[in-house]
Structure 1
Amino acid sequence: MGTGILILLGCGVVANVVLPRTGGNGGGTLMINFGWGLAVYSGVYVAYESGAHLNPAVTIGILAAGDSGLSAADVITYIAGQMVGAMLGATLAWLAYKKHFDDPDADQGSKLGVFSTMPTIASNAWNVVTEVIGTFVLVFVILAFGKTPTEVGPLAVALLVVAIGASLGGPTGYAINPARDLGPRLMHAVLPIPDKGSSGWGYAWVPVVAPLIGGALGGLAANLVGFV
């Protein structure tokens, strides 16, 4: 359920900013950054008992860091749950903004942008670099929190996500989470959204593969410097 809450609120804030005739239309990038941060904050609390596994890249990063206590079955279960939750959350966000998606003034790019990320300058190789760096920071710093006496739990992770969005989110929209991008993109493809256009499948592999690489590198680096 944690990933479902994450995606419902995260896709919801994007819809509020980019779709026409919403109360938050034109709220800007920082509103989206803070909305995603608070979505993470909420999702972490909902999933806290299971270790707050909301993101396959973080799950893989924890595994790469070593001494995680995660079995292969745990990893498969977490990632499957993350994908299902992401698809459900995206569907609920669509239902919440159904009339705005149906509005003829809503353009195709905005509709896709609610569900998934696309680069501002298309260059798959460099877009991979951006997503690897962003996800590396996410996992490396999350694991650093465990060694920091001032760690404040979900709030620290939420502010980290805001920071990544504000600092590194410009080129690709900072998926930094394969489930966050792939689950909603699948729902964009299958939901009955008028004039929705392409789901951007030519780019879709980047926000899946790159965060997994960045997460694994973040876990290995955290182990190397003694965070784990």
Structure 2
Amino acid sequence: MGSIATQAMGEFIGTLVLIVLGDGVCAAVNLNKSKAQGSDWVVIALGWGLAVTMGAYVGGMMGPAHLNPAVTIGFAVVGLTKWAAVVPFIIAQMLGAIVGAIIVWLAYLPHWKATEDQDAILGTFATEPAIRSLGANFITELIGTAVLVLGLASFGHGSMADGLNPLVAGSLIVSIGLSLGGPTGYAINPARDLGPRLAHAMLPIANKGGNDWGYSWVPVAGPLVGGIIGALVFAVLPL
């Protein structure tokens, strides 16, 4: 792989693609007069899985394509990523997530004005729990991210044909979404939630409401803790 700067550029571009396609499917399902409005959770889970696959293909040309601070930190804790790369990667991931969310806003520009549901608008950018219970929501995000990082670390340990890894990673995202996404909308990625939430706060989005900062720590802290736990579980496996 190239320098840390080159790899960080891969994290930026890959995360941007991830959010364009991931938040894009949320916009398609949530916003009024979208041709996909009202499509079910399966569409969102598949959309996010494909978003991760494409983001990983694009970002993977330049680096490891973590696209997720929880993955970066978890991998660093167990020696799968250099600590010197952690801060540049996370900055790049956050910036990519913000820019990706701005692109989604532009792609659906007329639909914000046509949508009066403020929760639907915020839910296009950031996650919201089905039942608001911050402790339980934290645990859900922790578990989902632990499964994610354990899976990704396991994929890297095994032997795969060239180009297959992003497809398998995308299928893992679909699986987590279908199985564990119901309670919180499965952020499992601090950049995926916080970056677009910041974009929602900054952009002149028609009909938008608040940013729900009171919940915003959950999809950041839960994934960070879960990512470390998933990595540590991988590290103690008798491989």
TM-score by length of 2: 0.91
Measure, in 2, the Cα distance between the counterparts of 1:161 and 1:83. Answer: 19
**Judging changes above 3 Å, is the alpha-carbon distance between structure 1 residues 158 and 69 closer, same or farther for their aligned structure 2 residues?**
closer
1:82 maps to 93
2:229 maps to 217
2:63 maps to 50
- Alignment of structure 1 residues 84-163 onto 2, 5 Å: 84-103=95-114, 105-149=115-159, 152-163=164-175
1:43-82 Cα distance to aligned partner (Å, 9 max, x none):
001110211120000001111222x25133x110000000
**Counterpart selection for 1:168 from 180, 190, 208:** 180
Measure, in 2, the Cα distance between the counterparts of 1:118 and 1:107. Answer: 14
Aligned letter for 1:27?
S
Deviation at 1:145, TM superposition (A): 1.0
1:19–1:106 Cα contact (<8 Å) kept: no
1:37–1:159 Cα contact (<8 Å) kept: yes
2:10 maps to none
1:10 maps to 22
Aligned letter for 1:110?
A
Aligned letter for 1:219?
A
Task: Calculate the aligned-residue CA RMSD, in Å.
Answer: 1.2
TM-score by length of 1: 0.95
Deviation at 1:102, TM superposition (A): 1.3
Measure, in 2, the Cα distance between the counterparts of 1:149 and 1:224. Answer: 20
Aligned letter for 2:208?
K
1:100–1:106 Cα contact (<8 Å) kept: no
2:112–2:207 Cα contact (<8 Å) kept: no
Aligned letter for 2:186?
Y
2:76–2:83 Cα contact (<8 Å) kept: no
Measure, in 1, the Cα distance between the counterparts of 2:156 and 2:238. Answer: 11
2:199 maps to 187
Measure, in 1, the Cα distance between the counterparts of 2:156 and 2:15. Answer: 21
Answering whether residue 79 of structure 2 is matched by residue 71 of structure 1, we say: no
